[in-house]
Amino acid sequence: MILKRLAVGALGANCYIVGCEKEKTGMVIDPGGDAAKILNEIRNLALKIETIVLTHGHGDHIAAANEVKSATGAEIAIHADDVNVMQDRVLCDMFGIEFNPVQRPDILLKDGDSIKIGELKFTVIHTPGHSRGGICLFGEGVLFSGDTLFNGSIGRTDLTRWGGDYSVIINSIRTKLLTLDDAIIVYPGHGPKTTIGAERRGNPFL
């Protein structure tokens, strides 16, 4: 598996470029800004991007989605419950970040859906609590956790306008993520990677 992390946008969100080494096809997870930087890395990796997956609709995770789609022809996928979120500029204005809404996603995701990239396969895990339609992607020994689970922390839940709810996010993590094997590597929406085992043992919120 090809995996490249880029910190993008004003809030330094993690954008991941994931590719199949055999078929040279790939996906982009959370292109939250700096489209030129993302597209340059895609060219360096020589990948044909098929899908742009948004783990949730907050502006710091979607700001470059339109540009990446235009340049690659990839389809944009997001959970149905976050479509309205990515078209709401209030959060962007709160944090002074670019408002670049995706008006029409190509794929509406739901819990249990599969995303295939060449020989790679990832399962959509719906993990509300940071937003109503927040998702994680699990497969190939890794978990892309969006803003649900971080290294030593969890996604903020005070943004109630967009579905933030502490009890909901804790339930999502405990019932859907901590059931995974300790060795699973977690690639979060911000900050450094971790593992399920490390968070099970040491995350103060859990």
Residues in the chain: 206
Domain that holds residue 105: 2-202
The per-residue pLDDT for 88 is 87
pLDDT score recorded for residue 134: 98
Domains of the chain: total: 1
DSSP string, 77-134: EEEGGGTTGGG--HHHHHHT------S--SEEE-TT-EEEETTEEEEEEE-TTSSTT-
pLDDT of the residue at 53: 98
Residues of the chain with pLDDT under 50: none
- For residue 196, which amino acid is it? I
pTM of the model: 0.97
Q: Give the CATH number, domain containing residue 95.
A: 3.60.15.10
* pLDDT at 119 (0 to 100): 97
